Amino acid sequence: MRSVALDEFRKTDAVLQDQDIDFYFTEISSSAYNFEVRFRIKFKQQTDYLEAMNETIVRIHDRFEKESISLAYNVTTLDFGVKGGVNRFDEKMKAGGQ
């Protein structure tokens, strides 16, 4: 994950390649490894920063998909088959849809 992300930062035109690119894992949560990357860009106006961030995020997303690095999502399971401790599928069916 780290090497893939850093590789994509190195391919971004706006990133100053003669400066260090710092990568830090900041947290392991229930569904993700969070990280922070610090880098320097060719900066003349505010939109330069936004364009560099946009390009690197899109690059990392696309590369993670290509490398089969998946982002975890929280899963919520709803079970509609149990009501009051009785499995609705085990109850006898009543005629007439009642």
Cα separation of the two ends of the chain: 55
Tell which wins on pLDDT, 5 or 97: 5
- pLDDT score for 2: 93
Q: Domain ranges in the chain?
A: 1-98
The C-alpha atoms of residue 18 and residue 20 are separated, in whole angstroms, by: 7
Q: What is the pLDDT of residues 55-97, one digit of tens each?
A: 999 999 999 999 998 877 777 777 666 656 566 666 666 666 5
pLDDT (0 to 100) of residue 98? 54
CATH topology of domain 1-98: Alpha-Beta Plaits (3.30.70)
Quick: pLDDT tens for 8-35: 999 998 999 899 999 999 998 877 889 9
User: What pLDDT shows up at residue 84?
Assistant: 60
